[in-house]
């Protein structure tokens, strides 16, 4: 086995990590979406996919085993709530069998309104799901239709109520602004309605139009205009003010939560923590190695099936690479890690903590970024960032030019 394989296939001591499970099915593609997902197919495909996830969990279970201590599990997509509760239960069983899943782990499932029933919700809870993230996006039916979503505003309320009745006491709502044609008044109304339902967490994202989407084509053909930056920023700050007034802690650029309800799983991405991704196109970060699986679902399933066909003599690590399951890996250099740590920490309210930085990288922050210091201090003087002897962070004003400031450290 090569040194590289050793580094990400073996854990010599206990490691705290999150586990991400990608479910790549959706009823139909939303017009703005560039995530990897397939139109919902038959039950057979979902069952085969679940079986492949179970094989993959067993594969890493043989290598990491109980040394991988997961305090968060996140089913993301796609639309994980299209998976039958029985399949989710089997996947959870395999995680519990193969890894050390903390008894108080945060176990989240992304779901879309209009895909849930009381029976399904009951089944998910029984399988161990204890947090839901609802893709609400808007409470305006015209906006939802424009986005190509399958649900209506009333479905959000129904789903939310059903989830509460099923015992879910930790829920996020995703909201989207800067949708072409969305007025400031309508956006305020959406936030107000979301707050009225009392979720524990709200994520609020600006619509980003990628080239290879329906919206991307409409923009390039001149059939749609992107929202001007000034309006986008006004909507962002409007949301921020309303959320803060409602008692939410704005802990990351696009995320706010009631006290102690921050998403523990997503915090791992912003704090340079390890995570294992299972499923087609899932990304992992273990022991400073980034690797990801093939995106094509059938290729992923057949790579996992071949592992099963090896009957007792599991494929070696390099064979799995050869079997086409992992299509990317990158061993971080020290500078890669420092840049990633800094970049992601600046997304959070906490910012870069110098003590934590020095503990990880054995060097004082400004000794690495001495050349950039005067430029950063210029941002501090102009109110875009703050800095003291213990940390640096962006201010609310600085969030509007966050990419520019973060680029200093990349």
Summarize as ranges the residues that interact with ligand SF4 (CB under 6 A): 26, 29-30, 33, 35, 37, 77-79, 112, 135
Q: Which is nearer to ligand SF4, 144 or 352 (CB)?
A: 144
CA dihedral sign, ordered 354, 357, 363, 368: negative
Residue 86 phi/psi, 5-degree rounding, is: -60, -35
Q: Which is nearer to ligand SF4, 79 or 159 (CB)?
A: 79
Q: Which is nearer to ligand SF4, 79 or 255 (CB)?
A: 79
Q: Give the distance from CA 125 to its chain's centroid.
A: 21
Q: Which is nearer to ligand SF4, 163 or 399 (CB)?
A: 163
Q: Which is nearer to ligand SF4, 80 or 85 (CB)?
A: 80
What is the closest distance, in whole angstroms, from the C-beta atom of residue 77 to ligand SF4 in the complex?
5
What is the closest distance, in whole angstroms, from the C-beta atom of residue 155 to ligand SF4 in the complex?
13
DSSP 152-174: -HHHHHHHHHHHHHTT---EEEE
What is the closest distance, in whole angstroms, from the C-beta atom of residue 25 to ligand SF4 in the complex?
8
* Bridge partners for 394 per DSSP: 385
Q: Which is nearer to ligand SF4, 149 or 261 (CB)?
A: 149
- DSSP-based three-state secondary structure for 42: coil
What is the closest distance, in whole angstroms, from the C-beta atom of residue 9 to ligand SF4 in the complex?
30
Where are the strands (E) in 229-282, listed by range? 249-252, 255-257, 274-278
- The CA distance from 200 to 197, in Å, is 10
Residue 63 phi/psi, 5-degree rounding, is: -95, -45
What is the closest distance, in whole angstroms, from the C-beta atom of residue 290 to ligand SF4 in the complex?
22
Can you read off the two tokens belonging to residue 406? Answer: 């973060």
Intra-chain end-to-end CA distance of the chain, in Å: 32
What is the closest distance, in whole angstroms, from the C-beta atom of residue 222 to ligand SF4 in the complex?
24
- The CA distance from 304 to 325, in Å, is 8
CA dihedral sign, ordered 238, 243, 244, 249: negative
Q: Which is nearer to ligand SF4, 176 or 267 (CB)?
A: 176
Instruction: Give which of 91, 93, 71, 77 is closest to 265, Cα–Cα.
Output: 71
What is the closest distance, in whole angstroms, from the C-beta atom of residue 163 to ligand SF4 in the complex?
17
Q: What is the DSSP letter of 213?
A: S
Q: Which is nearer to ligand SF4, 17 or 111 (CB)?
A: 111
Q: Which is nearer to ligand SF4, 133 or 273 (CB)?
A: 133
What is the closest distance, in whole angstroms, from the C-beta atom of residue 213 to ligand SF4 in the complex?
9
Contacts of 80 (CB under 8 A, 6+ apart): 21, 23, 88, 109, 110, 111
What is the closest distance, in whole angstroms, from the C-beta atom of residue 110 to ligand SF4 in the complex?
8
Q: Which is nearer to ligand SF4, 112 or 170 (CB)?
A: 112
CA separation, residue 393 to residues 54, 99, 244, 265, 396 (Å)? 41, 35, 18, 21, 10
- The strands making up 352-353's β-sheet, listed across from edge to edge, are 352-353, 391-394, 385-387
Instruction: Give which of 62, 71, 67, 77 is closest to 30, Cα–Cα.
Output: 77
What is the closest distance, in whole angstroms, from the C-beta atom of residue 180 to ligand SF4 in the complex?
16
């Amino acid at each position: 086995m090569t040194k590289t394989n050793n580094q990400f296939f073996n854990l010599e001591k206990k490691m705290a990590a999150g586990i991400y499970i990608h479910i790549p099915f959706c009823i139909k593609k939303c017009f703005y979406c560039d995530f990897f997902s397939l139109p919902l197919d038959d039950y057979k495909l979902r069952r085969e996919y679940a079986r492949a996830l179970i094989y993959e969990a067993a594969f890493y279970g043989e290598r990491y085993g109980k040394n991988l201590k997961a305090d968060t599990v996140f089913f993301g997509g796609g639309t994980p709530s299209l998976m039958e509760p029985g399949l989710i239960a089997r996947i959870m069983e395999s995680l519990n069998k193969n890894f050390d899943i903390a008894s108080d782990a945060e176990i989240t499932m992304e779901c879309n309104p209009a895909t849930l029933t009381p029976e399904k919700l009951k089944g998910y809870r029984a399988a161990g799901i204890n947090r839901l993230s609802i893709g609400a996006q808007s409470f305006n039916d015209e906006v939802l239709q424009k986005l190509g979503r399958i649900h209506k505003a009333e479905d959000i309320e129904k789903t939310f109520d059903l989830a509460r009745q099923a015992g879910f006491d930790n829920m996020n709502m995703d909201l989207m602004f800067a949708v072409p044609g969305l007025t400031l008044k309508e956006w305020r109304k959406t936030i107000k309605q979301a707050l009225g339902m009392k979720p524990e967490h709200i994520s609020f994202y600006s619509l980003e139009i990628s080239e290879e989407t329906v919206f991307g084509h409409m923009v390039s053909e001149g059939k749609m205009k992107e929202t001007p930056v000034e309006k986008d920023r006004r909507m962002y700050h409007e949301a921020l003010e309303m959320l803060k007034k409602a008692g939410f802690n704005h802990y990351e650029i696009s995320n706010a939560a009631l006290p102690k309800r921050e998403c523990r799983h997503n915090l791992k991405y912003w704090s340079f923590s390890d995570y294992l991704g299972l499923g087609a196109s899932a990304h992992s970060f273990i022991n400073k190695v980034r690797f990801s699986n093939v995106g094509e679902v059938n290729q992923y399933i057949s790579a996992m099936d071949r592992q099963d066909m090896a009957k007792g003599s599991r494929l070696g690590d390099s064979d799995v690479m050869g079997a086409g399951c992992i299509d990317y890996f990158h061993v971080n250099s020290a500078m890669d890690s420092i840049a990633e740590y800094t970049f992601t920490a600046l997304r959070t309210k906490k910012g870069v903590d110098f003590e934590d930085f020095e503990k990880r990288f054995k060097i004082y922050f400004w000794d690495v970024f001495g050349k950039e210091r005067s430029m950063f201090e210029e941002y501090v003087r102009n109110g875009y960032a703050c800095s003291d002897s213990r940390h640096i962070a962006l201010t609310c004003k600085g969030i509007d030019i966050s990419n520019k400031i973060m680029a200093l450290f990349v």
